[in-house]
Amino acid sequence: MNIIIIDKKDTAISTTTTQLLIDKQKVPFNLIDTILIESNSSLNTKDINRLTKNQISIIILSSKQYLASVISAPNSKNAELKLAQYKAAVKPLEIAKNILKLKFVSHIEHLKTHSINLNKSRYLKKIENAKSLDELLGIEGSFSKIYFTRFFNLFPKNLHSNKRTKRPPKDPLNAVMSWLYTIFYHIITVKLLSGGFEPNIGFLHRPFRDHNALSSDILEVIRADINQFVYTLFKNRYISAKSFTKKGESVYLKYEDRKNIYPLLQEFQAKTEPKITNAITAIRSML
C-alpha cells in the first residue's frame, strides 16, 4: 500500500485526470493507494470522485488526532465472502481464539526483547480453555493490564501515568500510541474493504455503532509492533515530552514533531504491511 501523507495547513489539493496535485507537487495516481490527510485542506467532490474512481482511498484524521473517517475507493463486491463472514460471526469463538493467540504471542515476544518474561504457555492455555467470548475478553483484559504495566515501565515517569488511557489519552505515551492505533485501524479498514470484507463484522471484537470490529481484530496482531515503534521514537529522541501539547484533559502530538516522524511512519507501515496482509488472509481461510 503506497500512502501519501498530507499534514500542512491550507494545503491546496486537486487532481488532473492522471495526477494528484499537492500545492505544486505532482504525484501520478498509479503511485498512490491511499491518501492520509491530517490538516485543514480543501478537496472538492470532483477531485474526490476522480480519486476513488482511480482506486485511491482517503483517510481524514480530525484535529483531535484520535478520530478519523474513510472515503473508500469502490469496494470489492464479494458477496460470498461477506456471507461466509456473517455465518462465522454467529459462532466466533474459534476465530477469536486464534486472533488472541497471535496477539499474546506477539506481545510476549515484544516484552522478551526488553528482557521481560511472561509465561507464554500459561496464557495460551487460558485461551484454549475459554468456553465463551466473554471469558476470552476477560482473559484479554487481564493480560493487557499486565502487558501495559511492564511496557510503560520502560519509559521515564514524565511520559505516562503507568496505565493505558484513551478517549482521550492523558499523557504523551498514550497520545502517540492512540494516534498510531487510529491511523493503522483505518489503513486496515481500507484493506478490508478492498478485499471484499465487511469491516463491521468482527470475531474477537463485537459490532457497535460505527465501530469496524474486524479492523480492531486485525489491529490486535500488530499492536506490539506499533508499541515497539513508539519505543524507538522516544529512545532515539525523535520525540520527547516537549513534543506534546495539552488541551483540557487531552494530550496531542505537535505538528512539527508529527512532520519529522512521517518518513519513519511510512517506512514502518511498509514493513508492517505483510503482517496485516497475512492476518487478513488467515481470517479468510477460516471462514
User: The whole model's pTM is what?
Assistant: 0.93
pLDDT of residue 60: 87
Grid cell in block for residue 237: 529522541
- Mind listing the pLDDT tens digit for each residue in 215-259? 999 999 999 999 999 999 999 999 999 999 988 888 999 988 998
What angle (nearest 5°) sits at the alpha carbon of residue 139, between those of residues 128 and 147?
Answer: 115
C-alpha grid cell, residue 5: 501523507
Residue 40 has pLDDT above 90, yes or no: no
H helix runs in the chain, sequence order: 45-53, 79-90, 93-112, 120-129, 133-152, 172-194, 213-235, 255-286
Q: Tell me the C-alpha distance between 80 and 77, whole Å.
A: 9
Contacts of 137 (CB under 8 A, 6+ apart): 204
CATH topology classification for 3-61: Ribosomal Protein L15; Chain: K; domain 2 (3.100.10)
pLDDT tens profile 97-156 = 999 999 999 999 999 999 999 999 999 999 999 999 999 999 999 999 999 999 999 999
- Least confident segment among 3-7, 92-96, 156-160: 3-7
CATH of 79-286, one of 1.20.120.340, 2.60.120.260, 3.40.430.10, 1.20.120.920: 1.20.120.920
Same fold, 3-61 and 79-286: no
Q: Where exactly are the structural domains of the chain?
A: 3-61, 79-286
